[in-house]
Amino acid sequence: MDHSCIRISEEDKGVSAKLFSIPKQYENDIDTVIIPYGVIQDRIEKLANDVYNDLTDDSLTFLCVLKGG
């Protein structure tokens, strides 16, 4: 099993949003949380470290596309 992937089944209904600090403007719109913020942040950090470690000998060029701005 690949432990670098997070698998969410169709039956997973998430965890009550009452267990998380939800921004006030979203309180009435969010009932459950499927992937907690900390898990997403940890995964982003891991991906950034992987890119850095794999490409340390090369220069990097990033392109950011903004939609709807």
Q: What is the pTM of this model?
A: 0.47
pLDDT (0 to 100) of residue 3: 55
pLDDT (0 to 100) of residue 2: 52
pLDDT (0 to 100) of residue 29: 93
Distance CA(46)–CA(67), nearest Å, equals: 26
pLDDT tens per residue, range 16-47: 888 888 889 999 999 988 887 888 888 889 98
Distance CA(51)–CA(62), nearest Å, equals: 12
Distance CA(16)–CA(20), nearest Å, equals: 8
Reading the block at residue 9, the tokens are: 């089944």
DSSP state of 57: T
Check whether 60 has a pLDDT greater than 80: no
